[in-house]
Chains A and B, each alone.
Chain A
Amino acid sequence: MNADAPATSWKTAAAWIIAIFIAVIFALAAAPKIAQPAAFAEAVYRYHLLPDSAINAFAVFMPWTEAILAIALLAGSRFRKGALLIAILLLLVFIAAMSINLYRGVDIACGCFSVASTAESMSWLNIARNIGLIILCALAWRWTPSKAAPQT
C-alpha cells in the first residue's frame, strides 16, 4: 500500500542513523585497544574474570571484532543484522563484566574508550550507557527490513 511508504522510509532512515552512530561508538572504542594491545590486556586482567591464558587472546581479538562490526554496520544493510547481533552480545558481556566488578567493589578504569589505567573509574553510568546502546541496536534491528521475506 502506498500509505506504508512514508513510514517505511522513516524507519529505514532511522535504522541507518542508529547504525552509523553505533558504528562510530565501536570504532572509537576499538582504536585505542588495537593501537595499544599490551595496555588493553592489562585493563582486561584488572577485571579479574578470565584465566591468565585467555586474557591476551581476548585483548587481541575483541577490539578487532569491535572494528569489523563497525565497518559491517557502515557497509549497507547487508551485514547489519549480524553486526547488531554481535554488538548486543558484546554489550551484554561488558555489562556483566562491569557489574561483577562494581559488585566486588574493585575500583578500576572501564577500559572502554581509553586503555589508560588512570582513566576515570567505571560506574553504574557505564552500565546505563550500555543498556541504552542495546536498546538502540534493537531498534535498528527492528527497523532494518529483511529483504529475504517476499514483499507482495
Chain B
Amino acid sequence: MSRARITPLAQALLILCVAALFGAAAQLLSPTRIPWSEAWSARAETKATEAGIAIADTARAQALIESGGVLVFDARSQRDFDAGHLPGAMSFPDSQRIEKYPDYADFLTPDQPALIYCSGHTCDESLELCMFLLEQGHTNLVLYLGGYQDWTAAQLPVSK
C-alpha cells in the first residue's frame, strides 16, 4: 500500500508548526520562560549604569585620554587592534580576558581609572570586559560606548 505522501514543502511547514506549538507551550509553562520582548538596545547602558560603571561619549573619552591619567583598553580582537586603535590603548580582547588579565593586573590597581571600548554601538565586548574587571575589584571604570567607530567618525587620531 502506498501511503499518501506530502511534498517536502508541506513537511517543512508541518515541522515549523509543531515547533511553534512547542515554543508557545514552553513560553506558557517553562520555569525558564522569557518575556516576549526586552529593551535589548539599551542593554549596555542599562547594565553599565546598574553596575556603577561610568559612560563616556566621544568628547569625554577624548578629554580623559588627553589628560593621560587613564589606562585605555581595547576589548576587540587582537587583529582589529593591530589594524588601528585609540592612542595609547592596550589590547585586552574580551574573548581572552582570563589569559590577558595577569598582564595588566600589576599596574591596574583597584582605583586606577580605565577607559574601555570596542568597535562601536553594536558591540558589547567592552561592557563584558568592564563587568569582568568589576568582578576583579576594579571600580574606576569608564565605558566608551561609541567605541572605535565614533572615534574615527569624529576624525580623531588613531595609532597603529
Instruction: Choose one: B15, B39, B79, B123; the contact of A69 (CB below 8 Å).
Output: B15
Q: Are B14 and A105 in contact (CB under 8 A)?
A: no
Q: Are B93 and A107 in contact (CB under 8 A)?
A: yes
- Complex CA gap A72/B14 in Å reads 10
The answer to whether A98 has its CB under 8 Å from any CB of chain B is: no
- CB nearest to B14 among chain A residues: A82
Q: How large is the interface on A (under 10, 10 to 19, 20 to 34, 35 or more residues)?
A: 35 or more
Within 8 A of A (CB), among B35-51: 35-41, 43
Instruction: Choose one: A59, A65, A107; the contact of B94 (CB below 8 Å).
Output: A107
Bitwise, A112-138 to B at CB < 8 A (1) or not (0) is 000001001100000000000000000
Q: A67-B19, A86-B16 are in contact. Are A59 and B34 (CB under 8 A)?
A: yes
Within 8 A of B (CB), among A78-134: 78-86, 104-109, 117, 120-121
* Set of chain B residues within 8 Å of A117, measured between Cβ atoms: 128
Q: Are B15 and A79 in contact (CB under 8 A)?
A: yes
Specify the main secondary structure of chain A where it touches its partner: helix
- CB nearest to B98 among chain A residues: A118
Q: Are B35 and A56 in contact (CB under 8 A)?
A: yes
The answer to whether A3 has its CB under 8 Å from any CB of chain B is: no
* Set of chain B residues within 8 Å of A80, measured between Cβ atoms: 11
Q: Are A56 and B36 in contact (CB under 8 A)?
A: yes
Count of A-B contacts judged by CB separation below 8 Å: 120
- Interface with A: B25-33, B61-69, B107-115, which one? B25-33
* Set of chain B residues within 8 Å of A69, measured between Cβ atoms: 15, 19
A94 CB to closest chain B CB (Å) equals 16
Q: Are A38 and B23 in contact (CB under 8 A)?
A: no
Instruction: Choose one: B2, B23, B41; the contact of A61 (CB below 8 Å).
Output: B23
Q: A105-B77, A107-B76 are in contact. Are A60 and B8 (CB under 8 A)?
A: no
* Set of chain B residues within 8 Å of A4, measured between Cβ atoms: none
Q: Are B40 and A85 in contact (CB under 8 A)?
A: no
Q: A45-B43, A57-B36, A104-B119 are in contact. Are A64 and B12 (CB under 8 A)?
A: no
The answer to whether B150 has its CB under 8 Å from any CB of chain A is: no
Q: Are B34 and A105 in contact (CB under 8 A)?
A: no
Q: A61-B20, A72-B15, A147-B5 are in contact. Are A53 and B37 (CB under 8 A)?
A: yes
A residues whose Cβ falls under 8 Å from a Cβ of B: 34-38, 41, 45-46, 48, 52-53, 55-57, 59-61, 64-65, 67-69, 72, 78-86, 104-109, 117, 120-121, 146-148
**17 pairs of residues in contact across A and B, judged by CB atoms under 8 Å:** A55-B40, A59-B34, A64-B19, A68-B15, A79-B11, A79-B14, A83-B11, A83-B15, A85-B11, A86-B15, A104-B119, A104-B122, A105-B76, A105-B77, A107-B94, A107-B118, A108-B125
